[in-house]
A and B are shown apart, each in its own frame.
Chain A
């Protein structure tokens, strides 16, 4: 079983970590939604995720959406 790696998105190192997050990384957003990164433009601001869980809007599960870095609570992959 593959070991889950947590990413520290805080501080100076967090900016670099965010820009380099690989596809497949699981993000938990501040609103409780969970999604998996399907593309990272490496612009330092955004990643494209596909929602796996969404506590406030279940219709978003399976949909793709760009997520800004300050909307994210944790990243693990």
Chain B
């Protein structure tokens, strides 16, 4: 049995979740022991999002990303041009070998003792390595290269990694959401991997637990009406409040909230009931932008003439990949835990890499209005998240439970997404699915207990 100490005495983690009432103890969000266990049990095992290949197009290009609480260097090698990811920690004394967010390097030189690594992570030099009174035959060899992730995947331009060699393939990890992620990474004309990301990208550090935005709020259908009411009134959408967007010809579709309780992914969902794509609707304030997107939508319609759209992205809604990535068409947002009450939110916004400059500019301005320091929508969210944590962690407040019972018991399986529970569009099915998988990870000894998902085991809560 998995136990934690000090949090209301020794209890199993399972006991903090009330299956019948659909509630979750606030202790799971505020207790440091839970956080430490999450880093070991979840963030050391899961496939985590690192960035996008368009951030490092040239040999020697690198970005510093994160996996859980730790930094990783994601670098395109100068020789074989392959992208790899390494822990940003010198093997000698643990110093960061890179202290920049992004750049282009020949080598990563540790400023402490000059242990130096090439862009394939190989140790290529140590200070005094050839000195007659230093290392001699104890000079460190190839096994002292930077610590490399166990598995790495470039999925249509998006970069993912896991520290666990026993984790399933990335596609198996995604399960029925593979097609949706591929769709979200397409350009507006349906070309695979057709995006490039705006750089530098936005990062916000928030004094809250990572699950507040990552679990509670990702694909939360009921928050927008109130939280974003003022931003909508300010006219920050694509048409800048001009009322330009007009409903197009109705396209047969159904919208839901869904949760994969076996794999933990879920969110909004649109099932399209016929091949093709919905008609393009003019919505941009800037001249010429609608002309571009109308033309690309036409090409996409031809591409999908006999295909049914994936249920997410490009108008279909966004979804979350367990544990902490939120994916929408041309936009990926993800959460890096730092400590129990501190998380960083990173947002990568993309655009068709072949789009003309005026379209790229319009999209960039839109995402700045949406996300940036002078934007509104994301700031609205973050204000909520900031205040949730201090209002939940006091000795009285933490004894209460969070309500996650919206739609509990009303979900159904649907053959269009095997194994996924489909529920009303404004229910909390996705949130419950995350906690089903969260509990499985927190109780599992290894990936042997997690994949293939053994539904005969009682590791699901909902």
Chain A residues within CB distance 8 Å of chain B: 31, 39-41, 43, 45-46, 48, 65-68, 70-71
Contact = CB atoms under 8 A, between A and B. Distances in A.
Interface in B76-124: 105-107, 109, 114, 116, 124
A71 B116 contact: no
B130 A43 contact: no
Contacts of B116: 43, 45-46, 66
27 contacts: A31-B130, A39-B106, A41-B106, A41-B107, A41-B109, A43-B107, A43-B109, A43-B116, A45-B109, A45-B114, A46-B107, A46-B125, A48-B106, A48-B107, A65-B124, A66-B107, A66-B116, A66-B124, A68-B125, A68-B127, A68-B129, A68-B130, A70-B127, A70-B128, A70-B131, A71-B130, A71-B131
Contact of A41 (B105, B127, B130, B131): B105
Contacts, number: 38
Given A41-B109, A48-B107, A66-B107, 12 more contacts: A39-B106, A40-B106, A41-B106, A41-B107, A45-B114, A45-B116, A66-B116, A66-B125, A67-B125, A68-B127, A70-B127, A70-B128
A45 B113 CA distance: 10
Nearest to B78: A39
Contacts of A41: 105-107, 109
Interface residues of B, number: 13
Contacts of A43: 107, 109, 116
A49 to B, nearest CB: 11
Contact of A68 (B105, B106, B128): B128
A46 B109 contact: yes
A62 to B, nearest CB: 16
A70 B125 CA distance: 13
A65 B131 CA distance: 15
A46 B130 contact: no
Contacts of A39: 106
Contacts of A68: 114, 125, 127-130
A37 B116 CA distance: 17
A70 B127 CA distance: 9
Contacts of A65: 124
Nearest to B107: A41
Contacts of B106: 39-41, 48
Q: Which 8 A-B pairs have the closest CB atoms?
A: A41-B106, A66-B125, A43-B109, A45-B114, A66-B124, A41-B107, A39-B106, A71-B130
Contacts of A46: 107, 109, 114, 116, 125
A41 B116 CA distance: 11
A46 B114 CA distance: 9
A13 to B, nearest CB: 21
Nearest to B125: A66
Contacts of B109: 41, 43, 45-46
Contacts of A70: 127-128, 131
Contacts of B129: 68
